[in-house]
Structure 1
């Protein structure tokens, strides 16, 4: 199959009371079914690139694995749309909770999770990283400028794992959760310490996105869009700084504002890994 994330097709465009025919670039939607130890586990609808990263990040996010070393073998059949995962363990952790909705509390807090495995895998951030307001704006611009697929199609979500100054890795996908899973998988595959990193995201910060960020382990989430009320509650409880509406030269800080500073001489405090 092609490595492209988009295809070209003829469309009819209406503009100023006229119809015209032109070629347009359309994002590709691809189903990938994951098998674990020869048992069907889940089907993901995604953009057709970075499959291994996405599968590993997804399994870690769902609590099936914690480390890359738990995977004995991973084979991607791109032509047929299958990912075959063989674990060293024959017991799939948390499989019984995969599709069961769960709302509960944790450690006396008012955290509300949709799935029981979220309670086990979402981490309270221990990050002491701080970044300047200008760095927030700069990172968002760098992420948006790096995505040619979004510029050409408008049909993908963008996400990037960053230091205070630079993008470390960026990924695009039609699924917002997939984009984050790809970042998580890349971090696990390459041994990247994430506690001092920043997550930059193009979409709305929903409770699910905030939970994904907590599972990855970052302490700062930057978005060009809005957060939900539940996402802000979770960010407060999980010690995550949530920043939204980063557009032009302004943004809003919704939780733990102490990590966003003005002083250029106090740009970033990074913990030893």
Structure 2
């Protein structure tokens, strides 16, 4: 297994839409409880499970995750921590559900003992981490200046994301992230931590050769510094959330030339960085007033 070709010239209609499977019995559990009227009820809750990631025999991290798309999560985590490089060739990915481990093997010899000692605890739920050299690489990334977001796309995307199969609708306690091209959703991933959902998408993109330069990233979670850094690491030029933003997230977005849009709900949104990519045409076209 190796690096795939980028997807220039491939239409998104040719790619299958990847979404969570709310009917997967491994992802939720039905528990007994009492409601506000002290009546017994059965409620679906999300199952968290540990997943220990190894890179070429070296233990990297143990993540708490819902357990779907473990290979994508592993590869995306390594990419977003600069432990897996864009030119690396993956020789194998071994996932063992019984012992809750995933091993990524590369042709390049790796040793991250020193790097692993430089962790930064982030504001991400489920205690996300970044390593010391991530911000150094962040400063080197150049995002595509020709990418655009038509505001008429935004309403379509938000409506489509709201109708996708979702664990959140079944059990809550979940964050969702989507990769979009124009007004179409390509991938939608969920997990207990939004950083896990981001990493799943990063891993899927790498394994399937999806180019990032013209894509749009959407998340249900707040736009913190961690979310901005990961999006820039993935070289996606536009980041949207239905939630709010942090001041450092905006500052980092401005430094990187990332278009940052928060509080996107219905017709409302707030552009806080990179407004030059936004084409305000929501009132144009036959769908804009629907």
Q: TM-score, normalised by structure 1?
A: 0.85
Structure 1 residues 232 and 121: CA distance shift in structure 2, 3 A: closer
Structure 2 Cα separation of the partners of residues 130 and 35 of structure 1: 38
Superposed CA deviations along residues 29-72 of structure 1, whole A, max 9, x for unmatched, are 01000122222111111111000001001111111112475322
Match of 2:218 in 1: 200
Cα 1:162/1:42, change in 2 over 3 Å: same
Choose 46-55 or 146-155, whichever is displaced more.
146-155
Runs of 5+ in structure 2 lacking a partner?
1-23, 121-129, 286-290
More helix by share: 1
Which portions of structure 1, spanning 4 or more consecutive aligned residues, are displaced by more than 4 angstroms?
264-267
The answer to whether structure 1 residue 9 and structure 2 residue 31 are counterparts is: yes
1:271 matched to which residue of 2?
A: none
Looking at structure 1, the residues matched to 87 and 75 of structure 2 have their Cα atoms a distance apart, in angstroms, of 7
In structure 2, the CA distance between the partners of 1:233 and 1:114, relative to structure 1 (3 Å rule), is farther
Match of 1:126 among 144, 147, 160: 144
Among candidates 60, 64, 67, match of residue 48 of structure 1: 67
* RMSD value, Cα: 2.2
Aligned partners of 1:62 and 1:98 also within 8 Å: no
Query: Normalization by structure 2: what TM-score?
Result: 0.81
Instruction: Please point out which of 234, 256, 264 is paired with 1:246.
Output: 264
2: CA distance, partners of 1:131 / 1:207: 22
The alignment status of 1:263 with 2:281, answered yes or no, reads yes
Q: Conserved in 2, the CA contact under 8 Å of 1:157 and 1:174?
A: yes
Deviations along 1:82-113, one digit per CA (max 9) or x if unpaired, are: 11222222223x542234157xxxxxxxxxx8
Query: Residues 100 and 245 of structure 1: is their aligned pair in 2 closer, same or farther, counting only changes over 3 Å?
Result: same
1:59 and 2:78 are equivalent in the alignment:
yes
Q: What SS does the aligned partner of 2:163 have?
A: helix
Aligned partners of 1:98 and 1:117 also within 8 Å:
no
